[in-house]
Amino acid sequence: MKISGKVLLIIIYILVISLGTYQLQNNPSFIKFIDEYVTLLRDYGIVGMLAYAFMSATFTVLAIPLQFLDLVLGIVYTVQEATLILIISKMMGAGMTFYAANYLISEQTRQSYMTSKYLKGLQELVRREPLKYGLLLRFASIPIIVRNYGLALLPINFSTYMTVTFIQSAVTSPFQAFTASQFSSFMDFVNQNNVPIDEDNMFDEDGNFIPQQKAGKVSSGSVFMLLGGLCIMIFVGSKVKKAVDKINSESELKEQLQEQTEKKTQ
């Protein structure tokens, strides 16, 4: 049985997310390894920055959803340095993805990708206003693989594609860097709500359970920014969907009128 490319990508996405989440929750050695690795980047200065940018760009091209690693840059570097690295890595990943989508993916795969009604409407919107809808797609609440490969397969040229990627990266990267700067290490970031249970002091002398104290949480300002960003992404996604539905309705109406005209002329 042949598995389509879209189904395979979804399976890979779910597997990577599930495996990464499991390892972060149940494997202290894995957490420690990442913590030591990202801290090591600081010792290599500019070389470490470029190495991380290339690694992150490679993950983007391979459609490996490990964007949570971007948050650790705010721990290792200053907010300004982390923001710069994030923008560079996202631009590199976008450029490599655009090349892969337009020159490495087969024509048959590209055509099968555009078979859905939603994507056909989206294709027409991007064809009419590539800068506007390219930018909206970059900010929409859709998986990162769709924002990269999906947008690259639509009728948008390289310069416009990189422009909307830069604008989106310049807006979101400072928030990522600032949020991560609230933590002292990657282990602190992962374990912010996971406190080791003191099994020897879980109950008092009368047998009553003693509630365990929670670790420090992210500042309210960071939570507000994250929730605000999420709301914006959802709002933008809904606006894009409404625009697609409208243009699809117009297209269907036009086809119906054309069919009626042809019947009358026969």
**Residue with the two structure tokens 């948008």:** 156
DSSP structure class, residue 63: T
DSSP structure class, residue 65: -
Q: Which two tokens stand for residue 22?
A: 């499991």
The yes-or-no verdict on residue 4 having pLDDT over 70 is no
Half-sphere exposure of 121 (CA within 13 A, CB side): 16
DSSP structure class, residue 262: H
Half-sphere exposure of 214 (CA within 13 A, CB side): 5
**Residue with the two structure tokens 């390289």:** 158
User: Does residue 177 contact residue 79 with C-beta atoms inside 8 Å?
Assistant: yes
197 vs 5: which has the higher pLDDT = 5
- Per-residue pLDDT tens over the stretch 107-159: 777 777 777 777 888 888 899 999 999 998 888 867 666 778 888 888 999 99
Residue-range domain boundaries for the chain: 5-192+216-254
User: Does residue 166 contact residue 131 with C-beta atoms inside 8 Å?
Assistant: no
| Short-list 223, 214, 212, 213, CA closest to 182 | 223
Amino acid in the structure at residue 157: N
CA distance 69 to 28: 16
Q: Which two tokens stand for residue 192?
A: 């912010």
User: How far is the CA of 86 from the CAs of 5, 92, 117, 130, 161, in angstroms?
Assistant: 29, 10, 34, 24, 17
CA distance 111 to 211: 58
Which uninterrupted H or E stretch holds 83? Answer: helix 79-99
DSSP structure class, residue 105: S
What is the three-state SS of 191-213? CCCCCCCCHHHCECCCCCECCCC
Average pLDDT over residues 235-242: 82
User: Does residue 248 contact residue 117 with C-beta atoms inside 8 Å?
Assistant: yes
What's the full length of the chain, in residues?
266
**Given this model, what pLDDT does residue 67 score?**
63
CA angle 119, 120, 124 (to 5 degrees): 110
**Residue with the two structure tokens 């923008």:** 87
The yes-or-no verdict on residue 199 having pLDDT over 60 is no
pTM of structure: 0.71
Q: Which two tokens stand for residue 20?
A: 């990464």
DSSP structure class, residue 148: I
- Per-residue pLDDT tens over the stretch 8-34: 556 666 676 666 666 656 667 766 777
**Given this model, what pLDDT does residue 197 score?**
41
